Structure formats: C-alpha cells, structure tokens
C-alpha cells in the first residue's frame, strides 16, 4: 500500500554514481486519479529547502525505464500505472544532508478533456521528508 | 409510484483509498455492503496491467463479480487527444484506443463504455474526430452488445451543440449502441462546498431534472455525482429530492452510479456512499 500523499517516504535517498554522490531521489505516486501514458507528462519541478531544481534536468524512472524529459515527452508507449510510484532522480553534487528536508514536487501533465486554454495541469505536493543516510 | 432504478457505485468514489487503505477487492466488497448492485470502474486505474491484463487478473475480476453477486455496469475509457505534444490524435489513432478498450470491456463483461473525449474549446466541444471514430466503432459495439456512452457533465447543458450532435449521430445511423451518460452535476443549483482560492468547481447550470425525461431513451446510465451528504441526508449542491422525483415519475430503470467527488480524505468514500444511498432510499420511499 502507498501513502496517501503524492510524495512517498520510501525511496527518498542520495544517489551515488562512480563512487560519489551525484544527486538524490524522490519517489512519487501520481497526483491524477488514473494511470496514464508517460507522454502526457510535461515533467516535474522539485524544490528542496528552497533550492529549485528544474524539470529539464530531472530523470524519471517508471517501471524499468529511466527517461530524460525529452524521452518522457515522447514515451507514448510507456505507462505510468496508478499504483506504481515513479522515481525522480535530481542532480546535485554531494546530495542532501542527513536529516529533515522540506520537499515540494510540482507535476505537469496534459488532460485532453480540459479546455486547451488551461494549458498543462499542474499539481503541487509538499511535505517534510527524512533523509536517513 | 415506486423507484425502478438500481444503485451502483463507480470506484472513482474510492480514489483516496484505492492503493492507500483498500485493494480492488476491498472497494468492491465495500460498495456491495453499502447496497450497490453494479460496479463501474476506470480502465486505467483499476485494471492491473492495463491495457493488457493477464488472464489470471480477468478471471479474478469475474470471480469478484460472482462472489459478491454484482454486475459490471460501466467501464470508463480515455481518448487522450493530446497524447503527443504539438498535435492532436487523428481518427485512426483515436479509434485504435477506443477499440482496444472496447475489447477489454467485452472481456470483463461490461455493457456500457464511457469514452472521455478530448475537447477543443472552453465550452468543451469534443475534438471533431469524435464522429468518425464513433461511426467506425459502431459495428464492434453491436458485435459486443456494448453501448458507447460519452458523458454529459457540467458545464455542458442538455440544450447544447454537443448533445444535438450526439442525437444526430443516433438518428442518422439508427444505432441503439450509442447513448449518453448523464452526470447529475448538470442539476447543481448552488455551491455546497467551501472552495479554496483558485479551486475549480462545476458551474451552476440549474437544469430542472424533469428536463431530462425526453432524453431518457438515449441515456445508458446516470452518474449520481455528489460532493458531500450531510448528517441530515441532504447534498449541498444538487437537489436530489427533485432528481429522484423526476426519475421515479418517468420510470427510469437503469443504474444510478454513485460518484463521490468530495475531498479525498481517507475512508471518506465508503462513508459518503452510504450517506448518499440512505438519502436516495429515503427520498424513494416518499414515492
């Protein structure tokens, strides 16, 4: 079972590549009421303790696929199922410190049944998360 | 007069709980305990492995229907016209999505499919591909005994180009496999919720529920939309007394599919469905 909010406790951690910490990961369930094709997504902006991380640099892992933003927007054959959280990998050399962090994630997606003038539908989720190690 | 309609639940009502506190089995058990005789699901939400569920999952689904003595009433489907950034889907691409979900609907035993169409305007005029898509899907609908039913939902009133166009399709093709799903949001007479700044609310159309009567031959299902039933068994936004009175008077014998759209607080869905069913049953008993 998942936590009710978009941002999940599980999966919040620093990410190491080649022996050094290159960023961190946040795990999110969909803010939508249904699963979608990944190409409907227009990315997610992440803010941690006031520091903003633009969607252009964030990679999405959905199932066994890890996608850059342009790859995500072209992924008409990749499903983001309702019950399967995605992992956002955010670049930040040295990562985040152990302890509590204020985390915000804004997911943007296209809902075809909203008036086109609305533009992408953006939902913002915020919570405190503990980074353990 | 006595009510001839049947009560059902769309599992959308459990959005806050599904995957959080409840499994699919839990949602169905809860809806049946509340009094539902029919179940509506969202293809993309409730079918594990959508769009290609395993045979084992499909067998489990039929097992749930048998175990709880409940029937599949409607499956919700989406034609995501904006699937690709920069251009909308053409007729064949849209049709492919619809046909795939229709095959799935048939496999799961549904008799009604609600395709959510992409729109092109502020007043929600459907993308013009809809007509050819529907016409080309009709032979499959007939083969499966499956009625394609786009939803009429606020801000679209009954007297609208959208409804006129749907009726025109029915008239010109003579089909009985294309109907409308009516959402009771069109009967909303007041804003019963305290809205947060910038929060979307369905506009108030205040259509008289009796105005629906002439359209009923072309209605496959009614969504009993609500945002909250209070302790005195009234809904803050929709005059259910008048809705139920009109449905009893015209002898509507289809389903009211309960759709809770209030705050997604944990355990709210199950509680609110029971309140709504109590309200409807009390109003029905007045006759």
Walking along chain A (133 residues) 10 residues at a time, the average pLDDT comes out as: 97 96 98 98 98 98 98 97 98 98 98 93 97 95
CB nearest A82 (choices: B45, B79, B82): B45
What the block records as the tokens of B181 is 């799903």
DSSP string, chain B: -----EEEEEGGGGTTTBTTTB-HHHHHHHHHHHT-SEEEEEHHHHSTTTTS--HHHHHHHHHHHHHTT-EEEEEEEE--TTSBTTB---HHHHHHHHHHHHHHHHHHT-SEEEEEPPB-STT-PBPTTHHHHHHHHHHHHHHHT-EE--EE-TT--SSSHHHHHHHHHHHHH--SSB-EEEEGGGG--S--S-PPTT----------GGGGGGGGGGEEEEEEEES-B-TTS-BSSS-HHHHHHHHHHTT--SEEEEEE-S---TTHHHHHHHHHHHHHHHHHHH-
**Residues of B (179-218) whose Cβ lies below 8 Å from A:** none
User: Within 13 Å, how many C-alpha atoms sit on residue B134's CB side?
Assistant: 29
Nearest residue in chain A measured CA to CA from B49: A81
CB nearest A4 (choices: B16, B46, B81): B16
B116 and chain A: CB distance < 8 Å anywhere?
yes
Domains (range + CATH), chain A: 7-131 (2.60.40)
Which stretches of chain A sit within 8 Å of chain B by CB?
Answer: 1-4, 29, 33-37, 39-40, 42, 73, 76, 79, 81-83, 110-117
pLDDT confidence tier of residue B197, bands split at 50, 70 and 90? confident
Contact assessment for residue B254 and residue B6, using Cβ atoms and an 8 Å cutoff = yes
The dotted CATH code for B6-286 is: 3.20.20.150
Rounded to a whole number, what is the distance in Å from the CA of A22 to chain B's nearest CA? 31
Q: Does the pLDDT of residue B287 top 80, yes or no?
A: no
Asked if A110's CB is within 8 angstroms of B85's CB, the reply is: yes
pLDDT confidence tier of residue B286, bands split at 50, 70 and 90? confident
At A53, is the secondary structure helix, strand, or coil? Answer: strand
**Residues of B (45-74) whose Cβ lies below 8 Å from A:** 45-46, 48, 50-51
Asked if A115's CB is within 8 angstroms of B122's CB, the reply is: yes
Rounded to a whole number, what is the distance in Å from the CA of B5 to chain A's nearest CA? 28
Burial of A44 (0-12, 13-18, 19+ CB in 10 A): buried
CA–CA dist A127, A103 (Å, integer):
6
Asked if B124's CB is within 8 angstroms of A112's CB, the reply is: no
CB nearest B124 (choices: A1, A29, A115): A115
pLDDT number for residue B200: 85
The 10s digit of each residue's pLDDT in B239-275 is: 999 999 999 999 999 999 999 999 999 999 999 999 9
Catalytic residue (one of B62, B153, B218, B223): B153
Rounded to a whole number, what is the distance in Å from the CA of A55 to chain B's nearest CA? 16
Residues in B touching A82 (Cβ below 8 Å): 18-19, 44-46
CB nearest A76 (choices: B16, B20, B84): B84
The 10s digit of each residue's pLDDT in B167-192 is: 999 999 999 999 999 999 999 999 99
What the block records as the tokens of A69 is 């933003």
B153 is catalytic: yes
The 10s digit of each residue's pLDDT in B128-148 is: 999 999 999 999 999 999 999
Q: Does the pLDDT of residue B164 top 80, yes or no?
A: yes
Q: How many CB pairs under 8 A join A and B?
A: 78
Contact assessment for residue B228 and residue B261, using Cβ atoms and an 8 Å cutoff = no
pLDDT confidence tier of residue B79, bands split at 50, 70 and 90? very high
At A116, is the secondary structure helix, strand, or coil? Answer: helix
């Amino acid at each position: 079972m998942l936590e009710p909010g978009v941002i999940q406790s599980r999966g919040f951690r620093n990410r190491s590549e080649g022996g050094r910490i290159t960023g961190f990961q946040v795990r999110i369930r969909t803010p939508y009421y249904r699963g979608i094709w990944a190409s409907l997504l227009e990315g997610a902006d992440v803010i941690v303790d006031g520091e903003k991380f633009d969607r252009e640099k964030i990679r999405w892992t959905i199932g066994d696929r890890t996608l850059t933003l342009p790859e995500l927007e072209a992924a008409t054959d990749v499903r983001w199922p309702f019950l399967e959280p995605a992992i956002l990998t955010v670049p930040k050399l040295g990562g985040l410190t152990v302890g509590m962090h204020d985390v915000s994630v804004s997911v943007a997606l296209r809902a075809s049944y909203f008036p086109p003038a609305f533009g992408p539908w953006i939902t913002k989720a915020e919570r405190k998360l503990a980074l353990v190690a | 007069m006595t009510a001839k309609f049947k009560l059902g639940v769309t599992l959308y009502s459990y959005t806050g709980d599904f995957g959080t506190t409840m499994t699919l089995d839990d949602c169905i058990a809860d809806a049946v305990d509340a009094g539902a005789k029919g179940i509506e699901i969202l293809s993309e939400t409730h079918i594990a492995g959508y769009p290609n569920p395993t045979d084992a999952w499909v067998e489990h689904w039929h097992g749930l229907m048998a175990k709880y003595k409940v029937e599949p009433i409607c499956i919700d489907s989406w034609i995501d016209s904006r699937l690709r950034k920069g251009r909308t889907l053409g007729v064949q691409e849209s049709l492919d999505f619809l046909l795939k979900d229709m095959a799935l609907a048939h496999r799961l035993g549904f008799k009604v499919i609600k395709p959510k169409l992409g729109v092109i305007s502020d007043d929600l005029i459907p993308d013009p591909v809809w007509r050819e898509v529907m016409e080309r899907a009709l032979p499959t609908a007939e083969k499966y005994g499956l009625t394609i039913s786009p939803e009429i939902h606020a801000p679209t009133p009954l007297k609208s180009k959208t409804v006129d166009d749907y009726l025109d399709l029915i008239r010109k093709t003579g089909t009985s496999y294309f109907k409308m799903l009516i959402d009771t949001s069109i009967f909303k007479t007041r804003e019963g919720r305290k809205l947060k700044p910038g929060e979307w609310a369905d506009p108030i159309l205040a259509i008289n529920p009796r105005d629906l009567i002439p359209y009923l031959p072309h209605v496959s299902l009614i969504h009993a939309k609500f945002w909250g039933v209070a302790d005195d068994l009234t809904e803050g936004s929709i005059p259910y007394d008048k809705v139920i009175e009109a449905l009893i008077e015209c002898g509507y014998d289809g389903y009211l599919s309960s759709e809770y759209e209030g705050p997604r607080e944990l355990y709210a869905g199950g509680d609110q469905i029971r309140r709504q069913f109590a309200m409807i049953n009390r109003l029905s008993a007045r006759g």
